[in-house]
Amino acid sequence: MKTGLALATLPLLLMGGPALAVGDPPVKLDQRQAAAFYASVRFLLGADGPVCPAGQVPLSGLITGGAQPTGGSSTTTILFSKGARMKVVRQWQKPLEKLSVTVRIDCS
């Protein structure tokens, strides 16, 4: 199991369809959408060594979470062809109109 941790203020990671409000239903990603999301964060996974998961392709995904005026969180889970799973947790806050973003990526 490999775990990559990325703390970033990357607008790229804020895009990609996070749930828009607290209590929103989960958003399912098809294979094309899951592959596009994985491609957008793959460089972060390779920063610590070999890209995780090696030799697997994204099959589907699920986005859960939501936001409110002062911040929010979103979890994107991507499922791969041989059982690997990648979870990207994004949390953001807007204290005094200054955006703060934390991103955690776990891949196993």
* pTM of the predicted protein model: 0.71
Q: What is the pLDDT at residue 14?
A: 43
Nearest-CA neighbor of 22 among 55, 64, 60, 62?
Answer: 64
Identify which of 11-25, 38-52, 62-76 has the greatest average pLDDT: 62-76
Please write the tens of the pLDDT for every residue from 7-21.
333 333 444 444 444
Q: Any idea which residue has 């790229």 for tokens?
A: 12
Write down the pLDDT at residue 16: 44
pLDDT value of residue 66 = 81
pLDDT at 59: 96
